[in-house]
Structures are given as structure tokens and as C-alpha cells.
Amino acid sequence: MNQLLTLVISVIVLTGLVLFKVNLGWALILAAGVLMIGAGIGPADVLNIARSTVTDSYFLEIIGIVLLINLLEELLRKVSYFEQALQILRESFKNRAKIMAVFPALFGLIPAYGGAKISAPLVDLAGKDLKIDPVEKSLLNFWFRHIWEFGSPLFPGVILVIYLAGVAMGKYILLMIPATLIFIALGYLFYLRPVLMKNREASEGGKTVDGETGAKTVSGFSAGSTLRGLLRIIWPVLLIMLVVVVFEISMLWPLLLTNLFLLYRTRKDKEFILSLYKKIWSFPLLWMVFGVFIFKTTFLWTGTSQVIPALLTKAGIPSIVLIMLFPFLIGLLTGMPSAFVGITYPLLLPVFNSGGLLHPGALMLAYVAGHVGTMLSPLHLCLVLTVEYFRVELFPFWTRLLPPLIIELLLISGLAVLFGLPA
């Protein structure tokens, strides 16, 4: 069968399965099966593809990282990390308007599906008696929850990008810093600043989260105590990222050391260890990783990767269109960064590496375009939970969410050109 036709059928099958909410791991494996059938691959080669996947050092490493991240999240719960973080924030920040952005940002450091549900009650509490409507609360909770998704190596989508594209983790984190800063700045300008302006009197009065007055604070919070408080909260994530960037090593090792340190601080009886063991095995996520690597290996094995550059040249399709449109659509359809990366990046690798050179601008733009899709997706669990909690209509939420996302995409497109895009 024609390679281009096989690729088109495979993508249609994959998209259809995703729309019908089939587990992403199975969807990718079945799409890989279409590629195998089209290429006339026999049972022996199917076994070789499977063997090549499960023995791939990158695959084994990413499985280890996923398990350790699950363990980190569970250990932080066991040591009452989130409760302590809440207490530190209440002691450090006296400005309740600002704390509505700080809550979701700090609780968003650790990836957790539907994690916006954790911070929503705290945002609601912080906004009590302030001049703020439910849509503004929901936007603050949703936006600042996702500021770390661009470059934090704790997020599955970021991990997949790094290993699929073969880029050094430290370099990728540095590459995505502009996207993170732009996202934070837009969140401030569109969502936080208007609330601060409306509540200037409340801020200057020094009301705490509990609604008490604090005459000692004039500016709203003490910079020194706030910095110390934030460091006490973010040290696990900060330590991991610093070690990865400075020493350019796999995240597996700092993750392991951080987990061992936290484990040392907790009780270690048999029942406790058994409960940890049961909770770190996220089989849907692990199966998704397996599906991603099976699809990638099949894609390369069948030679399908050589079709895409030729197709773009023949059809005259600008590479920037494919880099932006494909991840955006899959992000919109799935609502998950790991999904749009796992589905689109194996197909976009020939474009990323056009001319035998990896184009960092293309990597950055593809991820941001996919992220914009997930932020707008009605399948995004954080979006659904946030809208439901604050009881707001989806349309007014969307209309206020859209402008900064468009600006973000335009700014990143300009940066991508400077950083390097394929011709």
C-alpha cells in the first residue's frame, strides 16, 4: 500500500479512537498496527518492533521517571506537604488578591490530573469579600495552575518531548523559559491585575486570607518572609530542576534522591510501604508511554518518516503551518499535553530535524500550539472542574480565555523564527 495513504488512514484511525475516548495507549498501538499492515510487516518484524521498544534505554528511563514522579506526589501527600504549603502561604502573603494566583501556581508544581480541583476552594476562600466575580476566580485558578507545563520535567508531556526529540533536558528547560514567562505575564495582565486594581483598598488594608487586618504590612507582604516561605514549599521541584540543568544529567537520579529523602522523613512500616507501592502504578499513563514508543518505533521502522518532508515539498505546505496546526488540533481534541505530544511528535520529527539539524524554534512552537489547544479543550479535566466548581458558563469563560492565548501564540511564533524554524 502507498505509504502516504497508509499514514493518512493511520492518523484518521488514531483521531477517531481518541474522539471515542479509547485509552490513548491502545489508540496509538492500533494506529501503529495500520502502519504495519500498510508496509506489509510480518509477525517476525512485529516482534522485533516490540522488542526494540521495550529494550530502548529511553523507554526504560521514562518509565522509571513516571513511577518516581507518582511516588513523589504520594510522598508529598504523606508528609502533609500541601497542608504545610497552605499554612506557609497564609503566613507569608497578606494580600488576598495576590494569593488567588499564588495558590494554583504552587499547587500546580506537582502534576496531577484534575489538580485545579485542589486549588479551587483555596482561591474561593482567598477571594471571599473581595470585588471579584466567579469568572475571574475561575480564570485565575485555571490559568496559574498551568504555568509550569511548558518546561517542568515533572510533567509527562515535557518528558515525552525531551525523549522523542532527543534534546538534552537542561537545554529544553532553558528553551521553554520565555514561553513560561510570557504565560505568567499574560496571566498577570489579563486576570490578576484587574482584580488587584478593583481591590486596591482591600490590599492596602492588609487583610489576610482569614479576613483579619494586619497593620504591620503596608505593601501587602514582606518580601523576605515571602521568599523564605516560597522556598520552603518549592524546594523539591527546585532541587530537581537545578540538578538537571546544572549537571546535565537524567532527571531519574535527582528524582530518586528527593524521594529517598522524603521517604526518610516519613514512617516506614509495612502497611505504609505497601500503600505507596499500590499508588505509584498508574497503568493508563504507563500504557500510554508504551503506545507512544511503539508508534514511534513503527513510524521509523516502516520508513514512513521519509514521506512527510517529500509531501510538504510537493504540496507547498509551509512547515510552520503543520507545526502549529497539528498539535493544536490534537490538543483541542484530547485536552492533554502528553496526548498531543505522543500523537504528533513522532509524525513531526522529520520536520523538526529538517536538513539533518534539530530546529529548537519548531520544538517550542509545536508545544505551545498544542498547549493552547489543551487550554481551550472542553475535554481538559482542569477546565471542566474549574468551571463546575465556580458555577460559571463555559462561553464567557472561553471568551475571556481566548485573547491571551492568541497573543501567546503570536509572540512564541516570533520567537520561534528567531530560534530557528525549518524552511
- Mean pLDDT of the 279-283 span: 77
Contact between residue 378 and residue 384 where contact means Cβ atoms under 8 Å apart: yes
Whether pLDDT at 144 is above 90? yes
Q: At residue 146, does pLDDT exceed 50? A: yes
Among the residue ranges 172-186, 224-238, 282-296, the one predicted with the least confidence is 224-238
- Residue 357 is predicted with a pLDDT of 83
CA atoms within 13 A on the CB side of 52: 15
Share of the chain above pLDDT 90, in %: 23
**pLDDT tens column, 112-129:** 665 677 678 778 877 777
> Per-residue pLDDT tens for 204-229?
554 444 444 343 443 444 556 666 76
- How far is Cα 102 from Cα 65, in angstroms, rounded to an integer? 27
Query: What pLDDT does 402 receive?
Result: 95
**Averaged pLDDT, 238-245:** 74
In whole angstroms, what is the distance from residue 56 CA to residue 290 CA?
A: 11
Q: How large is the average pLDDT for residues 52-77?
A: 82
Average pLDDT over residues 133-158: 91
More confident residue, 230 or 281: 281
Instruction: Note the helical H segments in 20-80.
Output: 24-39, 43-54, 57-78
Measured on CA atoms in the order 346, 351, 356, 357, is the torsion positive or negative? negative
Number of domains in the chain: 1
Q: What's the Cα-to-Cα distance from 109 to each of 24, 65, 153, 248, 275, rounded to whole Å?
A: 24, 16, 10, 21, 23
278, three cell numbers? 499500590
Q: Write down the mean pLDDT value for the chain.
A: 81
- List beta partners, residue 221: 93
User: Tell me, what's the pLDDT at 207?
Assistant: 47
Average pLDDT over residues 360-380: 91
* Average of per-residue pLDDT across 77-91: 69
* Through-space distance between the first and last CA atoms of the chain, rounded to whole angstroms: 30
Specify the DSSP class assigned to residue 130: S
**Number of neighbours of residue 238 by Cβ within 10 angstroms:** 13
Nearest to 31 by CA among 336, 381, 331, 339: 339
Q: What is the DSSP letter of 218?
A: S
Give pLDDT tens digits for 288-337.
788 878 887 887 788 766 666 666 666 677 888 889 988 998 888 778 88
Q: Which of 309, 291, 9, 329 is nearest to 160 (CA)?
A: 291
Give the model's pLDDT for residue 310.
Answer: 64
d(CA 249, CA 240): 10
Angle at 249 between CA 246 and CA 254, to 5 degrees: 85
Handedness of CA 33, 35, 40, 43 (dihedral sign): negative
- The count of C-alpha atoms lying within 13 angstroms of the C-alpha of 110, restricted to the half-sphere facing its C-beta, is 24
The tens digit of pLDDT for each residue in 15-63 reads 788 778 787 789 889 989 998 998 888 889 999 999 998 998 878 887 8
Q: SS3 for 221?
A: strand
**pLDDT number for residue 213:** 38
Question: 364 near 415, Cβ under 8 Å?
Answer: yes
Do 45 and 301 touch, CB atoms closer than 8 A? yes
387-416 tens-digit pLDDT: 888 888 888 898 999 999 999 999 999 999
Domain that includes residue 290, residue range: 3-419
Q: What is the pLDDT of residue 210?
A: 42
CA distances from 17 to 23, 35, 91, 117, 369 (A): 8, 15, 48, 28, 22
Report pLDDT digits (tens) over 255-266. 888 888 888 877
